[in-house]
């Protein structure tokens, strides 16, 4: 699969393969070995999925998950548009990350020729703005749903400067409208910590005395 590294460390734009014929096309979405073999992507196994159906003008996010109190990992996700059009945003909310506070965007559509997906590593903030009536995003997620570990920062935080529409006023949930700014969430200890990419076994091995 063709990939592009985004401005947020670990996040990727992925172009999915398309196999057309006279009937239409077939587009493989998820094969565990394919996704786990992408550059910088640790093993990814989808254990949960969902559809987000939206009116035009809806903005959702910036949502993120923290590691579970029982040591369970934070959620990684794959996002694909299956109807309509969305401006998808990834935002680095990981405290200590080299790209902390940065964001990047990908235009997601149900395009017949080039279907794009976004890979969000654990701890990354995700948001989107629906640009068409009936926009549907498909999520594949790596962990079971744990409501206590889900959180958000404000998609309207001026310090983030996210390119979401302001006129007409975006349609937000009450929870998203009340979400703290990134700085407030950092001060309150609400953000996930950045986890550097895993080292190899050889690099982790202790040095032996000569």
Using CA atoms in the order 92, 97, 99, 105, what is the torsion angle rounded to 10 degrees? Answer: -20
**What percent of the chain lies above the pLDDT cut of 70?**
93
Residues with Cβ within 8 Å of 86's Cβ and at least 6 positions away in sequence, in order, are: 54, 107, 108, 109, 128, 129, 130, 131, 135, 137
Which of 30, 63, 126, 167 is catalytic? The answer is: 63
Which of 126, 139, 167, 194 is catalytic? The answer is: 139
Cα–Cα distance for residue pair 120/32, rounded to 1 Å? 15
Residue 30, classed as helix, strand or coil, is: coil
Q: Supply the mean pLDDT for the chain.
A: 90
Helix or strand holding residue 187 (H, E): helix 182-187
8 A C-beta contact, residue 128 and residue 89: yes
8 A C-beta contact, residue 36 and residue 42: yes
Q: Is 139 a catalytic residue?
A: yes
Bond into 62 cis (ω within 30):
yes
Q: Is 194 a catalytic residue?
A: no
pTM for this entry: 0.89
User: What is the pLDDT averaged over residues 42-67?
Assistant: 95
For the stretch 152-190, pLDDT in tens is: 999 999 999 999 988 888 999 999 999 999 999 999 999
For the stretch 124-147, pLDDT in tens is: 999 999 999 999 999 999 999 999
């Amino acid at each position: 699969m063709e990939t592009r590294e985004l401005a947020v460390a670990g996040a990727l734009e992925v172009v999915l393969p398309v196999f057309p014929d006279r009937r239409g096309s077939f587009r493989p979405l998820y094969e565990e070995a394919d996704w786990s073999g992408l550059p910088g992507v640790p093993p990814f196994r989808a254990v949960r999925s969902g559809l987000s159906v939206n009116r035009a003008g809806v903005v959702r996010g910036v949502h993120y998950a923290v590691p579970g109190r029982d040591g369970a990992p934070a959620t990684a996700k794959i996002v694909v548009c299956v109807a309509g059009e969305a401006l998808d945003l990834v935002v680095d909310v990981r405290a200590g990350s080299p790209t902390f506070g940065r964001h990047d965007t990908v235009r997601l559509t149900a395009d017949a020729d080039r279907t794009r997906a976004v890979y969000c590593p654990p701890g990354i903030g995700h948001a989107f703005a629906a640009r068409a009536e009936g926009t549907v995003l498909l999520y594949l997620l790596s962990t079971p749903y744990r409501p206590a570990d889900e959180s958000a920062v404000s998609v309207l935080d001026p310090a983030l400067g996210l390119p979401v529409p302001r006129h007409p006023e975006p349609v937000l949930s009450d929870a998203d409208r009340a979400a703290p700014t990134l700085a407030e969430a950092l001060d309150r200890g609400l953000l996930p910590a950045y986890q550097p990419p895993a080292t190899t076994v050889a690099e982790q091995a202790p040095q032996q005395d000569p």
